[in-house]
Amino acid sequence: WNSKERHIYIIATNDIHASIEAMPKLATIVNELEQEGEVIIVDSGDRVSGNAYVDDSQYPGVPIIELMNNIGYSVATLGNHEFDKGSKALDMMLSSATFPIVCANMEAKNGALEPLPYTTIKCHGVEFGFAGIVDTDGGGRPLGGNSAYTNYTFSPDIETAYEICEEVATKCDMVILLSHMGLDRDRELTKLTPKCAWIAGGHSHDIVNEEFNGVHISQNNKNLRYVTIADICVKGG
């Protein structure tokens, strides 16, 4: 029996909206927590749309992805704004990320890249499952112009989120849903008692940190004004 406490810090961000000026503050938080334990950094979508340097780059969106690579992000999902520049730009963002991008309710066609529905990360003996979901607010697809979604189809967000949490729960110790559905739909999902401990949300730009129907929900406004940090203590295995 090993009584030594080990800490895992999961930092959740959402709706960064290309706020590159805030990234050094996030890097400072990461560096400080890395002195105390293991750090997992996750994002719940809309990393672009807010800064011309990022959005109108030769490779739209890639500058923020490169910063996220440098900070050490572990996993992210897609937001509706990741589709703004079409499939070629999204393909470039996906291929530029050194961390997995997951989204369970998106299916690509015509050769476009398709993210995995989920990924798992093992840390201090604990297996975490991270699933991703994007909103289908725009008539069966995410919000935005029709042309952005030419090469994609989507399954309903809440129903798919429930199903993927059920699946991932059989393969890990703790399920965390990276949701870009918005707070109202996250709360609706909890009424179905999904097998996730935490919904790290985005899309509606709320500030929330609450238990709802036995599931923890967090969201951090936008532009990296705030982050949520989960401190998970592992003792004796």
Write out pLDDT tens, residues 87-117.
999 999 999 999 999 999 999 999 999 999 9
Specify the pLDDT at position 150: 94
What DSSP letter does each residue of 78-142 carry, written as one string?
A: --GGGGTT-HHHHHHHHHH-SS-EE-TTEEE-TT----BSEEEEEETTEEEEEEEEE--TTTSS-
Per-residue pLDDT, averaged over 56-77, amounts to 98
User: In one letter, which amino acid is 40?
Assistant: I
Specify the pLDDT at position 4: 86
Q: What is the pLDDT of residues 32-43, one digit of tens each?
A: 999 999 999 999
Q: What is the pLDDT of residues 140-163, one digit of tens each?
A: 999 998 899 999 999 999 999 999
Residue burial 45-77, b: 16+ Cβ < 10 Å; e: rest: bbbbbbbeebbebeebbbbbbbbbeebbbbbbb
Q: Percent of the chain scored above 70 by pLDDT?
A: 99
d(CA 223, CA 139) in angstroms, rounded, equals 27
**Are the CB atoms for 230 and 9 separated by under 8 Å?**
yes
Q: Percent of the chain scored above 90 by pLDDT?
A: 95
| Closest C-alpha to 48, from 20, 18, 13, 21 | 18
Strand partners, 107: 153
Q: Which helix (H) or strand (E) holds 59?
A: none
Average pLDDT, the chain: 96
70: left (phi over 0), alpha (psi -120 to 50) or beta: alpha
Q: 88 Cβ partners below 8 Å, 6+ apart?
A: none
**Residue 237: band (very low, low, confident or very high) from pLDDT cuts 50, 70, 90:** confident
Q: 161 Cβ partners below 8 Å, 6+ apart?
A: 104, 105, 131, 133, 177, 179, 181, 189, 194
**Are the CB atoms for 81 and 144 separated by under 8 Å?**
yes
pLDDT at 1 over 60: no
Residue burial 194-204, b: 16+ Cβ < 10 Å; e: rest: bbbbbbbbbbb
Q: Is 24 exposed, middle or buried (0-12, 13-18, 19+ CB in 10 A)?
A: exposed
**Residue 3: band (very low, low, confident or very high) from pLDDT cuts 50, 70, 90:** low
Per-residue pLDDT, averaged over 172-190, amounts to 98
d(CA 33, CA 7) in angstroms, rounded, equals 9
